Amino acid sequence: MNDWRFCPRCGAGLALVGDGPERHASCGGCGFVKYDNPLPTTIGLICRGRSILLLRRAHEPAVGSWDTVGGFLSGGETAEENLVREAWEEIGCQVVDLRPAGTYSSVYGDTGLTTIGIAFTCRIADEAVITLSGENSEHGWFGFGEIPDLAFTDVTAAVRDLAAGTG
């Protein structure tokens, strides 16, 4: 939003007004106002005992970094529906036993887009066969004491809380 120069409704120049959470874009021409509200995402903490499933990202942002199953919510979709859909798309498995684990703020790579990650613990069947989509290049189960560097701040915080028993 910091690089917005023109109103998406009327094309007039925009002014950035306020500081911190009150900062917003405002159009003197038509009255359009846009706050920097975070985009909702999901974070799937898929566990087996004291191990978590992580995926290596095949695309930017953070290509090559480890991440969890999850993604941006679509309109009309609950966070739970999103995580079930994302798991099916990304690993070809049904996630079950979704339990809220917390919410975590972040920025999506170097895009400047703020996000709010809604984390859930969940699991897949022990006999489930993971089939990766093109979004990811590999997967692995990691013990809570051997978590690699993760792609995003919200995912890092959610996994840290899970491993510490606070998520």
Beta bridge partners of 40: 116
Query: Domain map of the chain by residue range?
Result: 1-36, 39-164
pLDDT band, residue 111 (cuts 50/70/90): confident
pLDDT at 112: 82
Per-residue pLDDT reduced to its tens digit, 76-105:
999 999 999 999 999 999 999 999 999 999
Give CA–CA dist 150/159, Å, rounded: 9
The answer to whether the CB of 139 falls within 8 A of the CB of 96 is: no
Reported pTM: 0.89
pLDDT at 125: 96
- Chain centre distance of CA 83: 10
* CA nearest to 145, candidates 45, 49, 46, 51: 51
With vertex at residue 23, the alpha carbon angle to CA 19 and CA 26, rounded to the nearest 5 degrees, is 135
Give CA–CA dist 167/159, Å, rounded: 8
Q: Is the pLDDT of residue 2 over 80?
A: no
pLDDT at 75: 94
Q: Is the pLDDT of residue 134 over 80?
A: yes
The CATH superfamily holding the domain 39-164 is: Nucleoside Triphosphate Pyrophosphohydrolase (3.90.79.10)
Q: Is the pLDDT of residue 167 over 70?
A: no
